Structure 1
């Protein structure tokens, strides 16, 4: 896999995340209002929930990243809205079926960066190639073909 070409993609925040967040927050508010607590506590907790939702939506909708790339030799790089390229390292990733890949990267000067790749902001082929490469990269060395455990 060392000769595999680099993967690069433009990035914009996904609207799927906003939809999921609003659905979960709505269920939380419904549970809060159906609970047996005082009306004053319901109002206060609803306000806290609303503030948390707004803060999270703003955080994920204002990405300073416009593109990302990964090659076997150079690792991860992120392009910011200023046109700067920053080296990054993959901290963790999650793949949810064939539709979603969530990358957690750390870059000098940017800190932790989360990129959600979903059908509304990325190509299916990019997500497929990323899932395959991430799965191969996360395998222990003794699990690679041609290696024996003994």
Structure 2
């Protein structure tokens, strides 16, 4: 059996994910105002402010600022390349496929958690398919190697 080829890709922010998050946030604010809270406008305004604050905070965290590139070699070692062009090894913690999105959780050597949100607008289809197949194969392997 041949070993899996290395997979490497640039981490680009997903405009689609940010747009979906904003739409959900606006719908949450509208739901507050169309509920019984509209009879107490100060409470609805406060809850709306909290929703928008959390949305701003969370959507800002969707931008990959530090890590620029990710690689997974044939031996199963993950690497992260930061903006200063230094490589850091990482360990796969887990992954999920949610429709067309892949959510990959890594931990760097320094213990920093890295979550990758990979959608069709920030990762090409062929790379996403190869990554998904390889992740599924990795999940089937026994834990001890």
Q: What TM-score do you get using the length of structure 1 for normalisation?
A: 0.86
Aligned-partner SS, 2:120: coil
Partner of 1:96: 98
Aligned-partner SS, 1:67: strand
Alignment of 1:59-74 (within 5 A): 59-74=61-76
Number of residue pairs matched by the alignment: 140
Partner of 1:12: 12
Query: What is the CA-CA distance between 1:28 and the residue it aligns to?
Result: 0.8
Task: Decide whether aligned partners of structure 1 residues 87 and 118 sit closer, same or farther in structure 2, where only a CA change above 3 A counts.
Answer: same
For 2:41 and 2:2, locate their aligned partners in 1 and report how far apart those are by CA, in whole Å.
Answer: 61
Match of 1:75 among 67, 74, 77: 77
Partner of 1:134: 135
Contact 2:4–2:134 (Cα < 8 Å) also in 1: no
Shift >3 Å, 4+ stretches: none
Aligned-partner SS, 2:102: strand
Aligned-partner SS, 2:5: coil
RMSD of aligned Cα (Å): 1.6
Contact 2:11–2:64 (Cα < 8 Å) also in 1: no
Unaligned runs of 5+ in 2: none
Query: What is the CA-CA distance between 1:50 and the residue it aligns to?
Result: 0.9
Unaligned runs of 5+ in 1: 142-150
